[in-house]
């Protein structure tokens, strides 16, 4: 099997807190907001299916769409970022130190 060498300049690693980020959260929010605006305008079905796959809760989407203080695209972009942070936190919580828990049961 071919071993993949880690590249510290990989932009995807900027989304993971352990790596030096290329984009700060505000820049990421601006980037996502622009893309969500495009999807609202050009392909709402793709946006909605993406939000479903990302597991963003529907009531939160509705609240973002109805907000009178935050533009809909910005609110949805923030929901995407928040959901990804939740996933990272959950994965860390359930993966750290749990490898030995199942040892001997195979």
List phi, psi (to 5°) of 64.
-65, -40
CA 98, 101, 102, 104 dihedral sign is: positive
CA 16, 17, 18, 24 dihedral sign is: positive
How high is the pLDDT of residue 1?
36
Residues with Cβ within 8 Å of 15's Cβ and at least 6 positions away in sequence, in order, are 21, 28, 84
DSSP assignment, residue 102?
A: G
More confident residue, 97 or 14: 97
- Kindly report, residue by residue over 82-96, the tens digit of the pLDDT: 999 999 888 888 876
State what percent of residues in the chain have pLDDT above 70.
Answer: 68
Please check the confidence at residue 6 and state whether its pLDDT lies above 60. no
How high is the pLDDT of residue 93?
80
- Kindly report, residue by residue over 61-78, the tens digit of the pLDDT: 999 999 999 999 999 999
More confident residue, 14 or 65: 65
Write down the mean pLDDT value for the chain.
Answer: 80
């Amino acid at each position: 099997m071919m071993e993949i060498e880690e590249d510290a300049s990989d932009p995807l690693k900027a989304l993971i807190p352990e790596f030096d980020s290329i984009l700060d959260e505000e820049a990421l929010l601006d980037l996502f907001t622009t893309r969500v605006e495009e999807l609202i305008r050009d392909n709402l079905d793709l946006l909605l299916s993406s939000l479903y796959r990302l597991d963003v809760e529907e009531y939160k989407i509705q609240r973002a769409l109805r907000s009178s203080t935050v533009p809909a695209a910005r609110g949805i972009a923030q929901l995407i970022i928040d959901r990804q942070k939740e996933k990272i936190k959950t994965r860390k919580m359930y993966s750290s130190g749990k490898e030995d828990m199942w040892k001997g049961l195979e």
